[in-house]
Chains A and B, each alone.
Chain A
Amino acid sequence: MTRVSHELDERLRAAAAATGLLDLAYDVLDDTPVGPLLVGVSDRGLARISFDADPEPQLEQLARLYGPRILRSSRPVERVRRELDEYFDGRRRDFDLELDLRAAPAYHRLVLEKLARVGYGHTTTYGALAAESGNPRAARAVGTVMNRNPVPIVLPCHRVVGANGSLTGYGGGLDRKEWLLRLEGAIL
């Protein structure tokens, strides 16, 4: 049985990305301190970071959101990989990446923009973020926005905690939230 070699396969994937025709290029970062991450990049910027790193079950959904020309390719994801590595090493406090938030509804985008201003090592609360987004009583809705954050870590939903200081919840699981806040020195 003929099999495409790793080399030929990678060559095709790099060439496909170089055409600029991909709706989304993705790769799996296998060994980050918070486990494997799936990272998706479009021609507009970083579109997706997922703690569910198995691509297979997500491809159909990603195709509906971004288009069917989706391919695993490491080159387009390289910059995100580097910035995440630096962040995990404690050498980076802010990300310098274009974001593609087109899949998020308007209200989500509004809240995510406010979230982006919560700095490294700081925390805010769901209620405070709701107030900043125009409706102080929308803490629950803000929780939903955090839960569906398309690019966690880079948009720091881990910095949003309950009014009493409890960690409350995290799309990637509380262990990861705690790890990220410890990394940033926001908790001891």
Chain B
Amino acid sequence: MAVAVPPFEIFYDAHKDEVLAFLRKRVGRDRADDVFQDTFLRALRAYERLEHGEHLRAWVLTIASRLIVDGARRDRPEARLASEPGGEDERPAYEELAPLTDGLPPKERAAVVLRYGYDLDYDEIGDALGSSEQAARQAASAGVRRLRKEKP
């Protein structure tokens, strides 16, 4: 049976400190507070459409990451490549990855998007998915293999 979507209060309380820490690391103390608020307001807007309560941590970190990328692009369009996580090599940007990974099982999808879209380390991804670093690595590589098969 799918894990039920928890009351928003419980979701917020469980992840707020970590989301803020993540944002401070990425955009600095000054901007982190604003993006923090946008992250949880966006999560609230999407909350009704959630079908289960799994991987909420990866989900909210993904929302936060997306807002950072959007913000960076808005602020400095010319600096887009440099500011985009993963932009320094051929890794696809997160928005190219998102539709491509639609068909993956949720855990593999989250692992692939967080690794290649947002450049998170495997231990961070493991934390986000509630599994080990090793399991995160396996989920990401299984996802990539599946993508190669499905979308040649």
Contact = CB atoms under 8 A, between A and B. Distances in A.
Given A19-B41, A19-B44, A19-B45, A70 B9 contact: yes
24 contacts: A1-B21, A2-B20, A3-B20, A4-B17, A8-B37, A9-B16, A12-B36, A12-B41, A15-B41, A16-B40, A16-B44, A19-B44, A19-B45, A21-B44, A21-B45, A59-B7, A63-B7, A67-B48, A68-B5, A68-B47, A69-B48, A70-B7, A71-B8, A72-B9
B82 interface: no
Contacts of A115: none
B30 to A, nearest CB: 13
A45 interface: no
A55 interface: yes
Interface in B2-34: 5-10, 12, 16-18, 20-21, 24, 33
Given A1-B17, A4-B20, A9-B16, A59 B40 contact: no
Interface size, B (range) = 20 to 34
Interface of A: 1-4, 8-9, 11-12, 15-16, 19, 21-22, 55, 59-60, 62-63, 67-72
Given A19-B44, A60-B7, A70-B7, 11 more contacts: A1-B17, A4-B17, A4-B20, A8-B36, A15-B37, A16-B41, A59-B9, A62-B7, A69-B47, A70-B8, A72-B9
A2 B24 contact: yes
Given A4-B20, A4-B36, A68 B7 contact: yes
Interface of B: 5-10, 12, 16-18, 20-21, 24, 33, 36-37, 40-41, 44-45, 47-48
Contacts of A69: 8, 44, 47-48
